[in-house]
A = this chain, B = another copy of it.
Amino acid sequence: MVFYFHDIIYNGKNAKNATSAIIGAPAWGNRTILAGQDHFGDLVVFDDPITLDNNLHSTAVGRAQGLYVYDKKEIFTAWLGFSFVFNSTEHRGSINFAGADPLMNKTRDISVIGGTGDFFMARGVATLMTDAFEGEVYFRLRVDIKLYECWK
């Protein structure tokens, strides 16, 4: 299963379009502008549309909701805890993810740690690719999810 999700971070000027916002920052940072040192310490909450192709304006099939935090000073890396929430005719339920995202790598793997509804008890690995990155306001991730159920 391949999906895309789209993150537009609040920067003080885009309240209407923003899908995410900084809610934690180190002592030397603030919650409007991403901090120096590769954004180390910036914690972001997001509610991002999920689409089937790479077009932000395609119909959303669900929402990616949760947190990411930039966690290294010398290079961009992040740690993610979030869910894909589906409520469409095609999919109903959620997939839960956690893991490290060394986001300068072309691809990187995080864990599917559980699922509900159509994705009951799912486990697996999701491969992330940064499909687009525009300044410090917008990025789009391609997510290739491989599920392996194990409970049967």
**Cα(A151)–Cα(B151), bound, Å:** 8
Given known contacts A10-B27, A23-B25, A26-B21, is B46 in contact with A71 (CB within 8 Å)? yes
Given known contacts A22-B26, A27-B10, A148-B121, is B65 in contact with A72 (CB within 8 Å)? yes
Given known contacts A12-B27, A67-B69, A69-B45, is B125 in contact with A121 (CB within 8 Å)? yes
Interface contact A30-B27, CB-CB below 8 Å: yes
Interface contact A43-B40, CB-CB below 8 Å: no
| Chain A 34-54 interface mask (CB, 8 Å, partner B; 1/0) | 000000111101110000000
Of residues 87 through 115 on chain A, the ones whose CB sits less than 8 Å from some CB of chain B are 93-94, 96, 98-100, 102, 109-115
Instruction: Give how many A residues have a beta carbon under 8 Å from the other chain's beta carbons.
Output: 58
| Chain A 50-76 interface mask (CB, 8 Å, partner B; 1/0) | 000000000000010111011111000
Q: Is the interface of A mostly helix, strand, loop or mixed?
A: strand
**Chain copies in the assembly?**
3
Q: Quick check: is A130 within 8 A (CB to CB) of the other chain?
A: no
Interface contact B81-A98, CB-CB below 8 Å: yes
Interface contact B41-A66, CB-CB below 8 Å: no
Interface contact A31-B21, CB-CB below 8 Å: no
Given known contacts A22-B27, A31-B27, A72-B47, is B98 in contact with A114 (CB within 8 Å)? yes
B residues near A93, Cβ cutoff 8 Å: 109
* 4 pairs of A and B residues whose beta carbons are closest in the complex: A111-B114, A109-B116, A83-B100, A23-B24
